Chains A and B, each alone.
Chain A
C-alpha cells in the first residue's frame, strides 16, 4: 500500500510563506485529518499533493518518490482529489462526470470498458447518487454535487485520496456516511475538515496547522485539547470524551470565541 509524505514542504506566494517546512507522514491506509483556522495553509498543502501547485521548497513523496518528477497522468492514477471547485462549466450528466474519473487510465477518447462502467455504477451507488445518473450536474444541489465528485474520485481507483472540505454542503447523514466510508475504504487519506468533532471521530491522526506551520500532530485524543482550541482556534471550549466511542468531542457555545493574537488582519 501507498504512503504519502510531505517532506519539508514549503510554499511561498508573492513573498509570503503560506506553508513553511511542513513535515507530515500519512501511512498507508491511514486517515489523517488536516485541521486549522482559516488561512492556516491547509488547502495550499493539499494543492501540492494533487499537483495544482508546485512547492517552492521540499517535496511531496509517494512511496518515497518525488511527485514533481512524475508525469501528471502517472500521479493521477495514484492520487485522486476532491477540490473545492464545485461547479463544472458545462451541464454534463452525473454519469458523464463520474466517468471522467477514468481519464488518467484510458488513452484519448477510448470508450470505457464494461468493468469501468460497472466501477462507475458502484461508485455512484456507494455515494447514493445512482438515481441521479442521467441528471445534469448543474441542476443538482450542493450536497448532491459534492457526492458526485467523490464518486468521480473513487472511480479514479486511487491509492491516496485527498479531500478538501469534503463535508461542505453535506447534510448530517451524508457527512457521517462519507467519513465512515473514508475510514473503511482502505485508502491512504489526507483530508481537511472544519468540524473538529467529525475530524476526531473519523481520523486516525490529526495534524494541526497554524500560520503555515505544523503545531500539533497525533491521535485525536492527544491533539484535541482545550489548550489547543484556545491557542490555535481562539475558542474557549470544553473537551469531553464521547461516551460511546471514546474520542474527544468539543462542546462550545456562542461565548466561546476569544480574540486571537496574531490573527488580526
Chain B
C-alpha cells in the first residue's frame, strides 16, 4: 500500500534539510544599516538646525551662530554690538527651530502609530478630529477670555483641552464589544472634525473680529511663529516619551499589522494595545497642536516615505521617522519664513507644496504597497 510521503517529525525533518545556498545571508542589509542611517540623519539634523538658526531676515554665519549659542549655554559674554543678533539667535530663532525639530519628530512617529492603530494608510495624527477640536478650543478661549489665569499659555491650554475633548468623544463613540474598532475610529474622527469645524465657524460668525479669524487660520495651518522657550519643556517631554514608548512596542506594532486575530494568537492583547496607542497619540497630538497648530501632511507622509526607504518593520521605522520628520520640518519652516520675507507663509502650505510632489513621485517609482496594490 502506497501512502502519502512521510515527512517525519518536525525535528528530524528539519534536521535533514540540506543547507540552502545563500540562505545563510544575514538579516537584510537595511536592518544592519539602521544605526548608520540614524547616525547620518542625526548629523544632517544638527547641521540643519545650525543653518536654520543662522538663516533668516538677518543672516548670521554658522560660525557666529555657534559662538552665540555657546555663549548662551555657558553663560559667556558677548560684545555690546552683538546684542541684537544674539537676541534674534537665542530668543527667537533657537526656540523656533528646536520646536520644529520636536514637532516634526513627534508628528512623524505619531503618524506611524496612528496608521498602525487604525490600520489605514490614509490616517495621520489629525484623522481623529484632534486638530478641529484644538482650533475650536483655542478660538473659544480667545473669544471668551477664559483661562486668563494661565496668561500667555491660555490659548494653548484651550487648544489642548479642545483636542482632548475630541479624543475623549471619539474614544467613547468608537468603543464596542470588540474594543476600539479601527474603521469606526476613523469614521468617528472624521465626523467629529466636521462637527467641531462647524462650532468654530459659528464662533467666528458671531464674533467677527480679526483676531478670532487669524486664530482659526493659525490653528488650521500651523506654524512656529509663536515659539518661545517656555513651550519647549512640555513638548520635549511629550515627544521624547512618545518616541521611547512607541519604540518599546515596535514588535507589537508589527504583530498588530498582521491583523487583530493573528495578533491575539501571537499573544498581543490588541484591545489594550489599541487603547494605549489611542491615549498616547491623543495626548501627544494635543500637546503638539497646542504649541504649533495643525501642521498637516508631515504625519501622513513621513511614515510612508520612511517605509519606502527602509521597509515596514516598526523597529527601523520608529528609529528613522523622527529624524526625517525633524529635518523636513526644520527646512520647511526655514522656507516658510524666508521665501517671501519679511512676510511669513503658513507652514502647512510649505509642507504640502514640497512634500506632495516628492511623495507622489516616490510612490510611483517604487513598488510601494500598503495593504494592497
Contact = CB atoms under 8 A, between A and B. Distances in A.
A52 B371 contact: no
A144 to B, nearest CB: 14
A139 B369 contact: yes
B264 to A, nearest CB: 5
Contacts of A130: 20, 23
B150 interface: no
A90 B14 contact: no
A92 B250 CA distance: 13
Interface string B229-256: 0000000000000000001101110110
Contacts of B13: 126, 181, 184
B77 interface: no
Contacts of B258: 85, 88-89, 97, 100
B250 to A, nearest CB: 5
A83 B259 CA distance: 9
A235 B266 CA distance: 38
B265 A83 contact: yes
B251 A108 contact: yes
B215 to A, nearest CB: 37
B269 interface: yes
A96 interface: yes
A82 B119 CA distance: 20
Contacts of B9: 184-186
A138 B372 contact: yes
Interface in A80-123: 80-81, 83-85, 87-93, 95-97, 100-101, 103-104, 106, 108-109, 117, 121-122
B355 interface: no
A76 B315 CA distance: 22
A246 B369 CA distance: 47
B265 A126 contact: no
Contacts, number: 162
From B6, B265, B315, name the one whose CB has the most chain A CB atoms within 10 angstroms. B265
A256 interface: no
Given A87-B371, A185-B10, A80 B247 contact: no
Contact of B257 (A89, A156, A162, A201): A89
A72 B267 contact: yes
Contacts of A95: 27-28
B373 A90 contact: no
A103 B268 contact: yes
B22 to A, nearest CB: 9
B265 A92 contact: no
A38 interface: no
A81 B17 contact: no
A180 interface: yes
A67 B116 CA distance: 28
A156 B266 contact: yes
A183 interface: yes
Interface in B106-122: 116, 119, 121
A142 to B, nearest CB: 13
Interface residues of B, number: 52
Interface in A47-80: 47, 50-52, 71-77, 79-80
A187 B10 contact: yes
Nearest to B1: A244
Nearest to B317: A90
Given A90-B312, A91-B369, A92-B257, A180 B7 contact: yes
A134 B251 contact: no
A31 B27 CA distance: 35
Contacts of A92: 254, 257, 311-313
Nearest to B4: A180
B266 A103 contact: yes
A215 interface: no
Contacts of A91: 307, 311-312, 368-370
A9 interface: no
B313 A184 contact: no
A196 B329 CA distance: 60
B265 A244 contact: no
Contacts of A185: 7, 9-10
Interface of B: 1-10, 13-14, 17, 20, 23, 25, 27-28, 116, 119, 121, 247-248, 250-252, 254-255, 257-262, 264-269, 307, 311-313, 315, 367-373
Given A90-B254, A181-B7, 11 more contacts: A71-B267, A81-B265, A87-B372, A89-B121, A90-B116, A92-B312, A96-B311, A126-B13, A139-B367, A186-B9, A245-B3
9 contacts: A51-B265, A83-B262, A89-B371, A90-B116, A96-B254, A108-B251, A109-B251, A117-B27, A154-B10
